[in-house]
A and B are shown apart, each in its own frame.
Chain A
Amino acid sequence: MTVHIMWFAAAVMGILAVAVLGRLVSGPTVPDRAVALDTLNTLVVGIMLLLSVAHDSVVMVDVAIVYAALSFVGTMFIARYIEGEV
């Protein structure tokens, strides 16, 4: 039962991630796209946590931790690039 709820929540989060992609494509400025990418990364970490329970594999949570750390590095480099220091 709980696993079915996790699948449903992961599906809704996937729909939200697709919705965020619209702003990522059509953002008028570069920081808008960076904000959309940051939001998308957070949603993907949430989806990974949900799917780790749904697939009953604990390793997926470790993948989510590494994904969060690497997406943080990516966001920091995009911010440096927007600032004009790279």
Chain B
Amino acid sequence: MFILILVTAALLVSLLFNSLGAFSLYRFPDVYTRLHGATKCTTFGTIFIAFAVVFYAVGRLLESGEPRFRVLIVHALVAMMVLLITNATGAHAIARASHRSGLMPARAVVDRLDESRKGGGSL
């Protein structure tokens, strides 16, 4: 019962944050803010899905003692670590590429990063 409450709470948090991430793709005006909202919220939500799977596996392991639930715990944690590394790096690559391809944020007037890179001066 305690495990069921833990799994349900983790899944509710994950569904809330994943919904916010999908919603932010439609409510934000340009690519940088969309990247910010979508990447942060879906990463956090999917981490909590991995936590829900780990809680479920811990419950089944305590209940039955089958060794394949130990494998499930370790592999869910590995999937969570892979997501943590790849999502942050991919978002950074997309933001860098869209700035270098000349895309400006919505309602932006100056681009200090571009001026600094071209002029070679200090920020």
Contacts and interface: CB of A to CB of B under 8 A. Distances in A.
Contacts of A71: 86
A31 B86 contact: no
A39 B34 CA distance: 10
Nearest to B101: A82
B38 A35 contact: yes
B71 to A, nearest CB: 5
Given A39-B38, A82-B98, A65 B79 contact: yes
Q: Tell me what chain B mostly uses at the interface: helix, strand, loop, or mixed.
A: helix
Nearest to B25: A23
Given A39-B22, A39-B38, A65-B79, A34 B94 contact: yes
Interface string A45-86: 110011011000010011011001101100110111011100
Given A2-B4, A23-B25, A38-B94, A46 B46 contact: yes
Given A39-B38, A49-B50, A61 B79 contact: yes
Contact of B97 (A6, A16, A23, A82): A82
Contact of B96 (A1, A39, A53, A79): A79
A46 B101 contact: no
A82 B15 CA distance: 31
Interface of B: 3-4, 7-8, 11, 14-15, 18-19, 21-22, 25-26, 31, 34-35, 38-39, 42-43, 45-46, 49-50, 52-53, 56, 59, 68, 71-72, 75-76, 78-79, 82-83, 86-87, 89-91, 93-94, 96-98, 100-101, 103
